[in-house]
Structure 1
Amino acid sequence: MDKSVAEAGADLRGGVPLPAARAAFPGFEPEERSYQSWVADETIEDYALRYAPVNHRRWSPFTIANTALGGISFLALEAIGAALTLSWGVHTTVIAVLLVSVFIFVTSLPIAYHAARSNVDMDLLTRGAGFGYIGSSITSLIYATYTIIFFALEGVIIAQALSVSTGLPLPVGYLLSTLVILPFAVRGMTAISRFQMVTQIPWIVLGLMPFAAIAILEPQEIRSWLDATGPTLGWLSLGGAIGVLCALTLQIGEQVDYLRFLPPKETTPALRWWSALILAGPGWILIGGTKVLMGSFLVTLALGDGMAADFALEPIGMFWQAYQHLFSPAVALAVATVYILLAQIKINVTNAYAGSLAQSNFFLRVTRYHPGRLVWLIFHITVSCALMLMGVFSTLEAVLAIYANLALAWLGAIFADLVILKPLGRSPKRIEFKRAYLPDFNPVGCSGIVVGGVIGIGLLLGLGGPMLQAWAPPIAFVVAMLTASAVGIVKGKPVYFAREPHDFGPVERCDCAICSHGYEIRDMAYCTFYERPICSLCCSLEPHCRDFCKRPRLAPSIPVTPDGLRLHRVSPRIWQRIWQIAAVFAALLVGLAGFYLVARHLSSLLEDRQLVTHFFLGSVPMLALLAIWVVMANERKRLTEDDLLGALTRLGQAQRELALNQRLAAVGEVAATISHELRNPLGTITSSVEVLSRHPGLGPEVTEDVDRIRRNIRRCRRIIDILLDFARQGATEIVPIDLPAWLNAVVADHSGQRFVRMQIPVGMRLKCDPSRLQFAVHNLIDNALHAAEAAGRSPCITLSARRRGSVTEIEVADNGPGIRTDLQARIFDPLFSTRDTGVGLGLPLVRRVAQLHGGEAWIARSSPNGTAMCLSIRDRS
């Protein structure tokens, strides 16, 4: 267990030890959460859903770069180069690779930099870069699906190699390709870094060996490749090739999963840090683009030697042919198999690791359940194995074209935030990823990916003609970038935060109030529901609060009178429910339509194709009923949760009230015990002052001092009376007063009257207990003066009053430094004070005065520019 704040000696709430703070504050007690052993073990979990802390970033920049580059060994790059060459020709492929390489480098550099500086993975980066907490879940799904598809593609390559070299059935090869990565992917960065370090040199040697041999022994083959004939180079063919290659932009997500472990930039030599960042981040495309061109060369070489086109497209075919320039066919096949197995295991370890991170992030927000990265790792390889059995490799170009549009719309929105909005100051410089501070949906990124993705997919389906169809992915990127930039410029920073992040002060580490583990402050939030520090994972998993911390802070509610009741003929939420039902129905209908199109295509061999159409039409009413059921079930769940939250709120209020009564009762008992001892000295002082006041020859200054002593004697007696009265729950003496005149007299009797500015409407009347109310107003003015003076500011106090129906509100505003967020919930607690000489009874008694008058006391507002305290009184007429 890391050293906690309690062990360091003070809690985050004003220097109170953590156990004492919890005992002193009877708010909601969070239920302690424990995780499975593999979730608590960070060598397995690798901070899957968290910021990577300094103590876990123990690897050197070289190790990080080497590990990240080990993930670009995937032979799908060669397969993509071969497929593009057969479809569009060598010249088009070469130009497309060069253009896309520059594009990927430029767009990936800011993503890599901000992820390495903030030490977060791709999902956490997306949350804070314009998408919001829930909005980024769709990008997590896109990314998770991307890693699953590429894992399946690489697994198919392994199975094909084993089938050709050993005759092993493909399904068995699929299973082996998924199981072999588990020992490394399970242990996360710790095992993956060692595995990549050991296998890096053999992979490089085996990969370059055939190309070096061909360049030395048969250099004319390179000229033959460049001179190969094919489809004519044009904008249409170039756009088609670029559209497929653009799907590779998402590879930066896997690179970021390792870059987040870079050591702090401030403590690392600049050259080493930047070299690792560029090489492991955007620099991957320098090697990746070369591998695509290698695939184009190898397929041309294999076809020239008479190999069948279908077999030449497979990595085992092209590398077998390449190694035959060095070895006999049998040895070449064995070497090619070893190389393919080595390369594919290296990439699939990375694919599985990155996919488990993305799926953990996605399902955490969907289910509020975190069984651990290990579970999603098993899920990842299971789904990938199913895709292999479905023949995903045969649809490589189509799959990549679809994902290229979604990926570029996503990255276009992120690029707009990092490169355009941040330099303009319209986006926060810091990447915030915690649920407690993020809105569910940020319009900047969400609007960008929706507009860009819809336009890109629409163009891909042919809505804009063949030319726009070929260039759909780049268009999706530009549209998403422009849309996100426009929304961000208009909306600005406020849309990035649901509430301002809490300032924990100089504390570096803190214990989570729920899981009891210690984390760096960067990974902690202040939970206003439990009123304790909470780690980012526990915050994400919390099911009870319903984002209580993001709700607007309102004044305490005043009981509603029967006259204020309002009856609705129609449910006030009816239109919201209708829209929810329509949205769910539309989503289900789209899914059914997709199933219908596939089924209709597959039913072409059937004699009666109308059967599928009838099934589709007959299912529509059932979908409508299902949509209604889903929405109403969710509504019942919401109401149940609201009832639970209301019950918890009432319980917390009852606990607070009980604690307050107990403490005030204790104060009353003490006051009753010592009142006699206090009254006697006060009586003696009073007699002495009266004798002194009759002494002849007193000057004006002495007379003023004598009057001040009299006033303070009366005040001391009144405080004793109030304490005793509160302990006995005494009755109030209600009399009508002219509020403006009365407040003027109250302020005139205060020593700080020259700092008080009055804003009281003329003619306001009020029925109250003047003695008690005077005590409350004086106390609020005292606190306001102290706050301003403690901050070294010239006091400026504003006393105002207003009428809201049958309730009168008196507000005292100051120009002090404000009240810390974590202290605001405690300032009305008895015996709690931030002053060195305070006893912590002033504000609790102010609240009791308000409650005795049928009202309440609360913080109306608080900021670094000042605080406003409000006191309400219900009219007793």
Structure 2
Amino acid sequence: MAGALTSHRVDLMAGRLTDWLKGESGAHPAADALAELRAAKEAAEAANEAKTRFLASVSHEIRAPLNAIYGYAQLLERNDGKDALNAARVIRRSAEHLSHLVEGLLDISQVEGGALRLTREAIRFPEFLTQLIDMLQLQAQVKGIALVLSLSPGLPEFVHADPKRLRQVLINLLTNAIKFTDRGSVKLKVDYRNQLATFTVIDTGIGIAAEDTQRIFTPFERVGGAAAKQPGVGLGLAITQALVHIMGGDIRVESTPGAGSRFTVRLMLSQPLSPPIEPAPEPGAVTGYVGRERWVLLIDDDSAHLAMVRRLLEPLGFQVRTASDGETGHALAAQVQPDLVLCDVALAGESGWDVAAQLRRRHGAAMRIVMLSGEGPQSATIADPDGPANDTFLMKPFDFTALLDVIAAQLGLEWLRTAGTPSLAPALVSAPLPAIFASRAAAHCAEIERLVRIGHVRAIEAEIDGIAALTPEAAPLAEQMRAVLDSFDLKALEALARAVQADAA
């Protein structure tokens, strides 16, 4: 709308200027102004068309996963929870797709505003790359193409990088290559020399016309031909180029229409002076907390959000009260004197920041407040200068673990937990398999270990069935694997598969 109004105003001004110039002879400075106005009009119209195309694409990208979420939620209601695990997985994947779309839009916003910050961590380089390829193998198999990882012999075990952003760059390039390749292969080739890592993604796909090789890096641009028929909003390569430049690298593309493309990214990834300390084993699930009973007040105008957080906190021993607006929140706070308030920023009719400020004035710094928002990181910059320095901000959607970490930090809680995930494989319940079958079982276990990394449960079940079919002596092992899989303890299953391979070696 704004673009159309701007274009209309430019038309009026240009028309009046043209009428005035008709009576003038020879060159006149106003002619240059007229040319500038015409250029501004064309730019405004182009921006308006790009916005319209972008909104149409984003609408499609949002509606597809929303339809899956809505549909499977209705099936759960109709079927009384039948096949609930599969429905939950579809809903979660769809929600993750929506989250990634929003994050992509925020990435563009942060890059343009200079607000994107990088981390620097020591990562296991070959393992990082292998896991990334494993994650995309199923996507390539569905299209019937090969996905290949080629690592140079001199690749270091550890490098310093921002794993989230490096993963984002490589996934964007690889998924694009898979999307536009119908036969042949997609290869990720990685070389490393003098702390310079070179990533080359080579495909045998449809290729890119020479005149489009720069346009593909422009936000919201979709090139013509077969590429225009593929789903997407035209953000992936724009974000990729921006991230590569922020990381101090460069990206290049070579392509031949009908023969494939080659994207090359070069980044400086230094090696740590000494191997990093291995992380501690993951703690068990939180079941409660030590000390007196704590009261939590939730203020949010989204009833589903209130119910979700309440169902998380009450089983842990918290007394939870909920309010859908600031007025009700103030009344409940005066009544129960909560230890912690979780307050949404965008309340209907009133800002969450105003509600938080009033709560602090009435109850003092002893009442801890955590602000929640779905508006993006910029919301955190509108902080209350009178609030305690240790009050904090959490962006939606959030992981339950992140919320519990924030609550523990605010209230100084010590969690009660179940036993942590065992680091070793459970003991085998069967005697060693005969040598003739041990190597075949090891082959199945190697595939199970790979499938565990991508969470492909049905394929894992098929491999376990393959082990059971080898010989009657393998039945106890297969049953133990099924029991571990049924509890969805994939780490224990992976460890068990490794143990079988070690026994067969």
TM > 0.5 fold call: no
Structure holding more helix per residue: 1
TM-score by length of 2: 0.34
Pick the structure with greater CA Rg: 1
TM-score by length of 1: 0.20
Ranked by relative contact order (alpha carbons within 8 Å, sequence separation 6 or more), the top structure is 1
